[in-house]
Amino acid sequence: MSDEVILQVKDLKTYFNVDEGVVKAVDGVSFELHRSETLGIVGESGSGKSVTNLSIINLIPTPPGKIVGGEVLFHGTDLLKLPPSEIRHIRGNKISMIFQDPMTSLNPFLRISTQMIETIQLHQGLDKKAAKEKAIEMLKFAGIPAPEKRIDQYPHQFSGGMRQRVMIAMALSCNPEILIADEPTSALDVTIQAQILELIKELTRKLGTAVILITHSLGVVAGMCDTICVMYAGRIVERGRTEDIFESPKHPYTMGLIRSVPRLDQETKTRLYSIPGQPPNVIDLPDCCPFYPRCEQAMDICREKYPSIVSFENNQSVACWLYNKEIHNA
């Protein structure tokens, strides 16, 4: 991992106006991504992980969604202020994304060759022959056998794991600086999941690509990521290096997630831990800690005000009243 920061997300806010009120899907998210770094964004469904990354590449459907505040600085340029033509040049070229279900991401009516060649020609300026050669090379790079023949097949002729390999080949075909992987293994069985994650890890290492990995599984990020951001109700509640998060989690929500992971080193057969309650409704959420109804260490202040961020010496940070010195000294 390099010290060079290539992406800075500052106080990003993305809201959705619905009949019931305002959904604050992303409410003040900030983080940095370094060159060649793999950053994991973890949280339950509905925590704002996917919306955060769709906001980065300006793919929020408007209406009902709208990016209402913040900055997304890519090499110092705010992507949120770029005109559509310029963001399209960056999206799929400098910043690529792999979506959850490859069957819905690939056009079922078009051959793989058509979909890959179009992307490569658009962003790389190659002629059709050179673009097809590049596409075949990337399919081979992604571990698809006989790519010269399979490139002219349709998506339904591929298995789920092979379709995801096609998506990875497409995403990396333009040598992006950042790859966003939005739960790329959720639609696959466990064996194929491991193969796909190892493939992403190997290819991005060879190409020097930085990765933002979105997942609900701490088990996945443990072997993939350099740093972790834990999201809850549209905000990052804890951030730090992977080893620090696992060795010394600070936020009660992070602790609950780690306790929910099955342990092979435990001899006693105990019931797998589950965080009590349900994620909050983020429609018109009050300005308090949204985790307090599920938290075993909740205090009165948690119901009244959202905690400020507390930083530690190892660059780990947490948004929790348990570490606020003003409260404990009062």
Percentage of the chain beyond pLDDT 70 is: 95
Same-domain check for residues 184 and 169:
no
Domain-located, residue 323: no
Domain-located, residue 135: yes
Report the domain count for the chain: 2
Give the chain as a 3 state SS string.
CCCCEEEEEEEEEEEEEECCEEEEEEEEEEEEEECCCEEEEECCCCCCHHHHHHHHCCCCCCCCEEEEEEEEEECCEEHHHCCHHHHHHHECCCEEEECCCHHHHCCCCCCHHHHHHHHHHHHHCCCHHHHHHHHHHHHHHCCCCCHHHHCCCCHHHCCHHHHHHHHHHHHHCCCCCEEEEECCCCCCCHHHHHHHHHHHHHHHHHHCCEEEEEECCHHHHHCCCCEEEEEECCEEEEEEEHHHHHHCCCCHHHHHHHHCCCCCCCCCCCCCCCCCCCCCCCECCCCCCCCHHHCCCCCHHHHCCCCCEEECCCCCEEECHHHCHHHHHC
Query: What pLDDT was estimated at residue 266?
Result: 66
Same-domain check for residues 205 and 116:
no
Query: What pLDDT was estimated at residue 31?
Result: 96
Domain-located, residue 267: yes
Same-domain check for residues 170 and 274:
no
User: At residue 251, does pLDDT exceed 60?
Assistant: yes
Same-domain check for residues 76 and 16:
yes
Give 133-189 pLDDT, tens digit per residue: 999 999 998 888 999 999 999 999 998 888 888 988 888 888 889 999 988 877 677
Out of 64-73, 77-86, 103-112, 146-155, least confident range: 103-112
Q: Which domain holds residue 225?
A: 5-94+176-279
The residue whose two tokens read 């796909």 is 196
Same-domain check for residues 169 and 23:
no
User: At residue 201, does pLDDT exceed 80?
Assistant: yes
The set of long-range contacts for 15-22, using a CB threshold of 8 Å and a minimum separation of 24, is: 15/65, 15/66, 15/68, 16/64, 16/65, 16/66, 17/63, 17/64, 17/66, 18/64, 18/283, 20/283, 21/283, 21/284, 22/283, 22/284
Same-domain check for residues 213 and 153:
no
**Where is the domain boundary, 279, 298, 319?**
279
Query: What pLDDT was estimated at residue 328?
Result: 52
Q: What is the mean pLDDT of residues 67-92?
A: 92
Query: What pLDDT was estimated at residue 177?
Result: 92
Same-domain check for residues 124 and 22:
no
Same-domain check for residues 158 and 83:
no
User: At residue 297, does pLDDT exceed 60?
Assistant: yes
Q: What does pLDDT average to over the chain?
A: 88
Query: What pLDDT was estimated at residue 199?
Result: 81
Q: What is the mean pLDDT of residues 275-298?
A: 89
Query: What pLDDT was estimated at residue 326?
Result: 60
Same-domain check for residues 56 and 198:
yes
Out of 27-36, 191-200, 217-226, 311-320, least confident range: 191-200
Measuring CA to CA, which residue among 73, 94, 87, 82 is closest to residue 30? 73
Give 90-121 pLDDT, tens digit per residue: 988 899 988 877 667 788 899 999 999 988 98
Query: What pLDDT was estimated at residue 285?
Result: 83
181 compared with 195, residue with greater pLDDT: 181
Same-domain check for residues 116 and 184:
no
Same-domain check for residues 38 and 187:
yes
Give 6-49 pLDDT, tens digit per residue: 999 999 999 999 888 899 999 999 999 999 899 999 998 889 99
Distance between CA 273 and CA 81 in Å, rounded?
Answer: 44
The CATH number that applies at residue 243 is: 3.40.50.300
Domain-located, residue 118: yes
Distance between CA 69 and CA 126 in Å, rounded?
Answer: 38
Same-domain check for residues 61 and 159:
no
Domain-located, residue 50: yes
Domain-located, residue 325: no
Domain-located, residue 291: no
CB of 175 within 8 A of CB of 134?
no
Domain-located, residue 328: no
**Where is the domain boundary, 157, 175, 193?**
175
129 compared with 207, residue with greater pLDDT: 129
**Where is the domain boundary, 175, 191, 222?**
175
